């Protein structure tokens, strides 16, 4: 039994098992988050681990802390150039779409004997947000991509709709505690929270980029401490001024991701790894909190199947089709966006709020949400790739290159940066030697990725189709070089 073993050994064992589960998920085509939850459940009171954990407030605190870093990392990895064309549509889906999902779920739930209309709206609010990490980890393990603007839309919507879900959940709890609260007061609170969250995120992101350029830390290893402090300060300051901290850290991440500053690449890699650690901790804690024998109760299963059906086939499609009514997306793309509304850890975290407030139906709601999340991931997750292929929206997945050399912006780099360029099969430069490219001074090819090989280019190295070049040089010059390398060869008549 784990509760009789040294706690450091227990934590190390759980982290190791989670790492093994992450690698195993690629082979068995099961989302990693399900395996993380499973490990937590096995370590819990009903499993062989025997750990008795029932502190909802601690789970809520862990979830809040972890989610802040996960959202920041998601924003940090987002390229503004990718989401700019769909940002308006993404904002509509992450606000109006979430609200419509909550309302569309509340209507059928209000007819169930277990809930009144206020409880129904609370449940709808809790399960109103989607999980981008779940969607793309599933597509990645199944080696399937999506075409056009769908990928940035799904990433941006899923990354930015958590703040709205948190607001609706807390609003529903306030409504339960204070039934006569004016609707206008709630509307003003929403505007203030979102405006303050977005503004503080932008300001803190710009401040972080400005300050880190002028902060000369002698030890490069201390820059991750700077990154952690920015996330915590952004969330804390925003919450202090009654803004939405989750929105603030996400916007801060996007702003920093679009900026240039010292050791940016290293900081991105650190936050990517730290976000994974936060996800593992969050899922393990939530898995420990749940009691499996209560989840498999007949009432939970029957109600959970009904809720899952309404969510997947009614609420989410209604929210997407209404939210994209003025967009350029066709019906197949809207249908796919509807089906990619997977639920992840956020609804489970939000389900801890009623527990901390002592709501009489809180435990039943928590078990119900847990069941709905598992159902969503297993049913929608297992069919995502097939849905993309059926709707003819699948695309080849471009595997990220793992370069044997990494270059970062340092105090001595000046305005020099690195950039990856994929050569098109019909590019004009195919078949030409590197020495014939006549790059301007200060721009060089560091490495060439060709299949499974990495070549250090010489003057006589001939470029081949599908090569990927790792360039280094002045940012402005690299933009011109990219345009030159993209020129297609003229076809012979």
Residues ≥6 apart with Cβ < 8 Å to 412? none
pLDDT of residue 165: 92
Q: What value, to the nearest 5°, has the Cα angle with vertex 343 and ends 37 and 112?
A: 105
- Burial class of 188 by CB neighbour count within 10 A (0 to 12, 13 to 18, 19+): exposed
pLDDT of residue 313: 94
**H or E element in which residue 444 lies:** strand 444-450
Q: How far is CA 239 from the centre of its chain?
A: 21
In 3-state terms the chain splits into helix, strand, coil percentages (rounded to 5) of: 65, 5, 30
- pLDDT (tens place) for every residue of the chain, 493 residues total: 666 678 888 889 999 999 898 888 777 767 777 888 889 998 888 888 888 888 899 999 999 999 999 999 988 988 787 788 888 998 999 999 999 999 999 999 999 888 888 899 999 999 998 876 666 666 666 666 777 788 888 888 887 888 999 999 999 998 888 878 888 888 898 899 999 999 999 999 999 998 887 877 777 788 889 899 999 999 999 999 999 999 999 999 999 988 877 778 888 889 989 988 998 998 899 889 988 888 888 889 999 999 999 999 999 999 999 999 988 889 999 999 999 888 888 898 999 999 998 888 899 999 999 999 989 888 887 788 888 889 888 776 555 555 555 556 555 555 566 777 888 777 888 888 988 888 888 788 888 888 778 888 888 889 888 888 888 887 778 778 877 887 776 654 4
pLDDT of residue 493: 42
Tell me if residue 373 falls in helix, strand or coil: helix
pLDDT of residue 318: 94
CB 2 within 8 A of CB 50: yes
Six token digits for residue 2:
């784990």
Can you say whether residue 451 is alpha, beta or left, with left for phi > 0 and alpha for psi between -120 and 50 degrees?
Answer: left
CB 239 within 8 A of CB 245: yes
Six token digits for residue 449:
């990725």
> Domains along the chain?
2-395 (1.20.1530.20), 416-485 (3.30.70.1450)
For 213, what's the count of Cα atoms within 13 Å in the CB-facing half-sphere? 13
pLDDT of residue 266: 83
CB 291 within 8 A of CB 46: yes
């Amino acid at each position: 039994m784990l509760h009789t073993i040294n706690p450091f050994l227990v934590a190390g064992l759980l982290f190791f098992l989670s790492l093994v589960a992450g690698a195993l998920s690629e082979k068995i085509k099961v989302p990693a988050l399900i395996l993380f939850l499973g490990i937590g459940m096995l370590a819990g009171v009903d499993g062989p681990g025997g750990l008795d954990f029932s502190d909802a407030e601690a789970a809520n605190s862990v979830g809040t802390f972890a989610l802040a870093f996960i959202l920041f990392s998601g924003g940090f990895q987002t390229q503004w150039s990718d989401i700019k064309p769909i940002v308006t549509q993404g904002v509509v889906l992450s606000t109006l779409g979430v609200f419509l999902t909550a309302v569309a779920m509340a209507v059928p739930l209000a007819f169930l004997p277990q809930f009144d209309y206020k409880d129904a709206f609370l449940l709808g609010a809790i399960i109103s947000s989607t999980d981008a990490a779940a969607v793309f980890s599933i597509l990645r393990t199944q080696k399937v991509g999506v075409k056009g603007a769908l990928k940035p839309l799904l990433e941006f919507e899923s990354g930015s709709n958590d703040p709205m879900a948190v607001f609706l959940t807390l609003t529903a709890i306030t409504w339960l505690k204070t039934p006569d609260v004016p609707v206008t007061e709630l509307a003003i609170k929403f505007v203030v929270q979102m405006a303050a969250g977005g503004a503080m995120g932008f300001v803190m992101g710009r401040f972080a980029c400005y300050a880190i350029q002028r902060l000369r830390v002698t030890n490069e290893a201390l820059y991750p401490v700077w990154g952690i402090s920015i996330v915590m300060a952004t969330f804390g300051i925003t919450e202090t001024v009654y803004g939405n901290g989750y929105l603030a850290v996400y916007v801060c991440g996007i702003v920093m991701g679009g900026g240039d500053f010292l050791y940016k690449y290293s900081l991105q890699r650190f936050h990517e790894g730290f976000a994974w650690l936060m996800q593992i901790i969050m899922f393990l804690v939530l898995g420990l909190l749940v009691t499996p024998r209560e989840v498999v109760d007949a009432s939970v299963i029957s109600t959970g199947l009904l809720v899952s059906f309404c969510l997947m086939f009614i609420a989410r499609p209604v929210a997407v089709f209404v939210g994209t009514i003025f967009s350029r997306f066709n019906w197949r793309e809207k249908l796919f966006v509807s089906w990619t509304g997977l639920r992840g850890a956020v609804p489970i975290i939000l389900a801890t709020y009623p527990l901390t407030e002592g709501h009489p139906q809180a435990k039943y709601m928590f078990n119900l949400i847990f069941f709905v999340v598992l159902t969503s991931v297993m049913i929608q997750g297992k069919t995502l790739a097939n849905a993309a292929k059926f709707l003819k929206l699948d695309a080849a997945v471009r595997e990220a290159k793992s370069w044997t050399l990494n270059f970062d912006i340092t105090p001595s780099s000046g305005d020099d940066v690195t950039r990856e360029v994929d050569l098109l099969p019909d590019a004009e430069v195919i078949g030409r030697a590197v020495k014939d490219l006549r790059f301007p001074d200060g721009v060089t090819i560091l490495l060439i990725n060709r299949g499974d090989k990495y070549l250090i280019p010489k003057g006589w190295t001939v470029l081949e189709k599908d090569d990927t070049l790792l360039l280094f040089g002045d940012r402005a010059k690299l933009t011109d070089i990219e345009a030159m390398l993209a020129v297609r060869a003229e076809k012979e008549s």
